[in-house]
Structure 1
């Protein structure tokens, strides 16, 4: 049996025992989940020093790229409900990474901007994310990586 057909068991991992994956080895969803777990763990470790989650990094990036964006637009883009986004922005604001400003065009709307500290943290996060990405993308040739991203986009598109 090859390494691609087994997985270390949770409780028995310390003994080096591997489990036969059985029908799991042919399930796309299983392999996507395992790839996600591997990347998530590495991402979390990479950003631990900055104390940022993936969604917080994405939020900072979107605010930086779309200065003056609203919480509603961020929530829609990230697939998050408004209350969750508001709580995240509150946390980022409490850390002095983001600031809210009243819109000059629509006084009911608040616009979001990075603070100087937020800009510095985002720069550090981007460097950590680039190293994280390289650990995974370096496992593929350019053609393989392009094909993989294309295939993943196809999964993400509406049916």
Structure 2
């Protein structure tokens, strides 16, 4: 019969017994939400969002990166990058610089204020991650990062 709801397998299944608990995607999403909520609380109302922080990190660590390269590294469409770059430029954290070989292309260069904001944010992010991952020992944390990077590599 179509359109009829499926009957529950158990009337009061414990969360640990549910099929969702065995799914990597479900657990990644739940962990992400918890990390994201704490990140936003740590950064405060006027702090950098994760995407903006990631963009600033690339600009500071690889100065004169083009906007196209930044979009590729972030895994977003170039059109989606415009608002991020506008925000960083509006905060005085970066400037757009014409590329001498092709004046139609703009590179992104951090300002002194951008470098200082990045360093301050990075300190907060490290403290946030240390607190959120305190139940993992150093080996487990390294293993988690290694496994997450392997997953990313399959999709990139």
TM bucket (normalised to shorter chain) is 0.7 to 0.9
Offset at 1:28? 1.4
Structure 1 alignment gaps of length 5 or more: 1-18
- Structure 2, gaps ≥5 residues long: 1-12
Quote how far apart the aligned CAs of 1:138 are.
2.2
Structure 1 residue ranges (4+ consecutive) displaced by more than 6 angstroms after TM superposition: none
Residue 89 of structure 1: CA displacement?
0.6
Structure 1 contact 100–113 (Cα < 8 Å) conserved: yes
**Paired residue for 1:136, among 132, 138, 154?**
132
Deviation at 1:85, TM superposition (A): 0.4
RMSD: 1.7
Residue-pair matches, total = 141
> When the two structures are superposed, what TM-score results if normalisation uses the length of structure 1?
0.81
**2:92 touches 2:111 (CA, 8 Å); kept in 1?**
yes
Alpha-carbon shift at residue 27 of structure 1 (Å): 1.5
Equivalent residue, structure 1, for 2:14: 20
Instruction: Pick from 63, 87, 109 the counterpart of residue 59 of structure 2.
Output: 63
1:123 Cα deviation from its structure 2 partner: 1.4
Q: How far apart in 2 are the matches of 1:82 and 1:61? A: 17
**Counterpart among 64, 68, 73 of residue 77 in structure 1:** 73
User: Match for residue 4 of structure 2?
Assistant: none
Question: What SS does the corresponding residue of 2:101 show, helix, strand or coil?
Answer: coil
CA offsets, 1:38-95, max 9 Å, x none?
A: 1111111111254210010010110011111111000011111111101211121112
